[in-house]
Structure 1
Amino acid sequence: MSSKKIIEAPKLPKTLANITQPAYHLQPEDEFSLGIICDCTIDSQTAGKVSFDKIVFQNVTFTETSLTDLELTDIVFERCDLSNVIFHDAIIHRTAFYDCKMIGVDLTGATFRNVQFHRCIADYATFRFSNAKQALFQECSLCSADFYNAAFQKVYFSRSNMDRAQMTGVKLEGIDLSDCEFDALGAGLADLQGCVISREQASVFAKQFGLAIKE
C-alpha cells in the first residue's frame, strides 16, 4: 500500500550476531545494541529508561515485564509474545512488529515514529494518550483496543479488525477505516468528523447514534 512508502523501515546492518538475552534484572538506563535475541523468555523485568538499538527479537516471550520510558530504535519483533507487557511512555522509532501476540500490551503515553504492526493480535491493547506519527496497522486484530485521547498524524489502518476499539478523543479526520472490520466503534460524532468509512460502516454508526436509515 502507498502508506508503506512514507514509513521508514528499521535501519539494520545486513548481518547481526546472536546476543544472549538479559540474564539478570535489568537496571535503569541499561543499553543493548547490534544483535539478535531469539528463542527465549524475558521474564519478570522491571526498569526505567532501558534502550535497545538495532536489535532483532525473534520468538521471544516477555512475561511479567514492565519497562517504563523504554527507548526502541531500529528494532524488529518477529513472532514475539508481548501480551500484558507494560511499556508506559515508551519512545519507539523505526520499529516493526511482525506476527506478534500483543494482547493487553500497555503502551499508554507512548510516542510512535515510523512504526509498523503487521498481522499482530493486539486485542485489548492500550494506546491511551499515545502520540503516533507515520504508523501502520496492517491485517491486525485490534478488538477492544483503547486509543483514548491518542494523537494521530499519518496513521494508517488496513484490513484490520477494530471491533469495539475505543477512539474517543481521537481526531480521526483523514483516517481511512473503510477496509477495516467492526460492528461498533467507541467514538463520538466530533471524533469521526472527516473520517473515511465505507457505506456498510455508515450504517453501523447510524445504529450506534440512534439514527434510522430509510430504504
Structure 2
Amino acid sequence: MKTKKLNTKMESPKIPLDLTDKSALAMDIQSEDCIERGKFQDCYMDNKSLDRVTFDEVIFNNVNFSHSNFTNLELTDVIFDKCDLSNVDFSNSSIHRTVFRNCKLIGMDISESTLRNVLFTNCLGEFSNFRFANMKQVNIEDCTFSSTDYCYSTLKQVNFLRSNIDQAQYSGAKHDGLDFSTCEFSSLSINLDDLKGCSISKHQAHVFAGLLDLIIKDGDTME
C-alpha cells in the first residue's frame, strides 16, 4: 500500500517581531473590529458574543476565550498558544496561516468554516465540531480529538498524525485520502464508501471489519 505523502507546502503564520501589547484591550473588542499587529497575554476574552471580528498578525498567549461566540471570524497569521477555547463558537469563519498550540479546544464549534494552512498541535479537542468545514493543508498532530465531527466536510491535504481520534465522525466527508495509520482509536463513524483511499495500519483493520460484515479470526495451523 502506498503511503500518503505528508503536506510539505503548509505556510506558517507570518508575524512581525514588533507586536504591540494589547492585553489591556481584550474585553473592549467589539463586533466588526479589526485588530492588527498585536499580542494578547494572560487575559480574558471569555463569555463574549461578537460578529465579524478580524485578527491579523496576532499572538494569543494564555488567553481564556471559553464560552465566547466569535462567528464570521477572520484569522490571518495568528498563533494561539496555551489558550482555553473550550465551547467557543468559531462557525462560519475564515482561518488562514494559523496555529493552535497546547490549547484546550473541547467542544469548539468551527463548523462551516474555511481553513487553509492551519496547524493543531498538542491540543485537547474532544467533541469539536468541524461539520461542513472546508479544510485544505491542515495538520492535526499529537492531539486528542476524540468524538470530533467532520461529517460532510471537505478534507484536502489534511493529515492526522499521532492523535487520538476515537469515535470521530467522518460520514459524508469528501477527502483525497486520509491516513489514520499513526492514530489511536477503537471505533470511527464512517461509511464504507467514505473509506476509499484511506490508509490504516494492519493493527487497525479489525475496527473496519464490521463495515464489511467480516469476522477476523486467528489463523490455526492444521495438524
TM (normalized to structure 2)? 0.91
In the TM superposition, 1:1-215 aligns within 5 A as 3=6, 5-19=8-22, 20-24=24-28, 26-207=29-210, 209-214=212-217, 215=219
* Counterpart AA for 1:111: T
State the Cα distance separating 1:116 from its structure 2 match: 0.3
State the Cα distance separating 1:21 from its structure 2 match: 3.4
Q: Indicate the RMSD between aligned Cα atoms, in angstroms.
A: 1.4
**Residues 67, 85 of structure 2: 8 Å contact kept:** no
**Residues 7, 157 of structure 2: 8 Å contact kept:** no
TM (normalized to structure 1)? 0.94
Aligned-partner SS, 1:191: helix
- Unpaired stretches in structure 1, ≥5 consecutive residues: none
CA deviations on 1:78-126 (whole Å, 9 max, x unpaired) are 0000000001101000000100000000011010000000000000000
Aligned-partner SS, 2:44: strand
- Unpaired stretches in structure 2, ≥5 consecutive residues: none
Aligned-partner SS, 1:165: coil
**Residues 37, 60 of structure 1: 8 Å contact kept:** yes
Runs of 4+ in structure 1 displaced over 2 angstroms?
2-5, 20-24, 207-210
CA deviations on 1:132-172 (whole Å, 9 max, x unpaired) are 01000000101101111110111111000000001111134
Aligned length: 213
**Residues 12, 74 of structure 1: 8 Å contact kept:** yes
Describe the shift of the 1:35–1:88 C-alpha distance in structure 2 as closer, same or farther (beyond 3 A): same
CA deviations on 1:32-58 (whole Å, 9 max, x unpaired) are 010110001112211211100000000
Aligned-partner SS, 2:77: strand
